[in-house]
Amino acid sequence: MLTRKQLDLLDFINRRLQRDGVPPSFDEMKEALDLRSKSGIHRLITALEERGFIRRLAHRARAIEIVKLPEALGGEAQGFTPKVVDGDRPDSRPAAAMEMGGEALQIEKLGRIAAGVPIEALDHDEQVTIPTALLSGQGRHYALEVKGDSMIEAGINDGDIVVIRETASADNGDIVVAQVEGYEATLKRFRRQNGMIALEAANPAYETRVLPEGSVKVQGRLVGLIRTY
């Protein structure tokens, strides 16, 4: 998730690259965003680079290239775009299978996951029926009930059931189940930078948590979502 200033700067750099073939200078960026000093531009550039939207090329003046654009600027969705199926429908078949028009199977529902303040680590709870279309790749899948609203701007609401593919690794931008300091479990967007892990919310009311890499263990990556009404 980008701030308004970060989005404005990315848009300005992209438009200048398209028009002139070279990025604007820091002075031009400062003027375009109506900032008082270039230090503010440095901070915005660093934030865009850390989030994977731009790349600075070493040993070259004004060398910035666009890596990707957010949806707001015509790019693809960042990270996870939920495959949402509706539950609680009166039918003899499982609701999820009916919605997706395919076969269904049961996976374990391992309790609740916090989309907000982290809660206790996961324990076995029950079974939940999902369409096979929600499965992503090889390996074990499991389900969790979302508790909280920190991921609402990623389309994940309180009470949703998320489908997780078990994995111990993640790429920057993935939404993951992260175990913090061995006991807390939370659903957040994952970033790795200089030996630290950032767990980002998709709700401006929540701050990003930045933790030493050794204190965060990835337990799975989000691949699907079931919503009931």
176, 133: one domain:
yes
Strands 196-200 and 209-212: antiparallel
- Sign of the C-alpha dihedral, residues 58, 73, 83, 149? positive
13 domain-assigned? yes
pLDDT at position 144 is 87
187, 97: one domain:
yes
- The total of structural domains in the chain comes to 2
| Among candidate residues 21, 51, 73, the one where a domain is terminated | 73
Here the CATH number for the domain that contains residue 29 is 1.10.10.10
95 domain-assigned? yes
CA distance 225 to 163: 6
Exactly one of 39, 92, 188, 217 is catalytic; name it: 188
88, 192: one domain:
yes
Spell out, as residue ranges, where the chain has pLDDT lower than 50.
77-80, 82, 87-101, 118-121
Give the SS3 label for residue 99: helix
pLDDT at position 69 is 80
79 domain-assigned? no
Here the CATH number for the domain that contains residue 145 is 2.10.109.10
Tell me if residue 92 is catalytic. Answer: no
67, 111: one domain:
no
pLDDT at position 189 is 92
pTM exceeds 0.85 for this model: no
Which residues, in sequence order, are CB contacts of 196 under 8 Å at separation 6+? 210, 211, 212, 213
| Among candidate residues 35, 54, 73, the one where a domain is terminated | 73
pLDDT at position 223 is 84
| Max CA pair span of the chain | 65
pLDDT at position 229 is 55
Domain that holds residue 65: 4-73
pLDDT at position 226 is 80
Tens digits of per-residue pLDDT, 98-132? 344 456 777 777 777 777 554 444 555 577 777 77
Exactly one of 136, 150, 169, 215 is catalytic; name it: 150
121, 28: one domain:
no
200 domain-assigned? yes
Tell me if residue 188 is catalytic. Answer: yes
24, 68: one domain:
yes
128, 206: one domain:
yes
Q: Do residues 73 and 107 lie in contact, with contact meaning Cβ atoms separated by under 8 Å?
A: no
122, 151: one domain:
yes
| Among candidate residues 22, 52, 73, the one where a domain is terminated | 73
52 domain-assigned? yes
57 domain-assigned? yes
143, 166: one domain:
yes
Report residue 138 as tokens: 């090889």
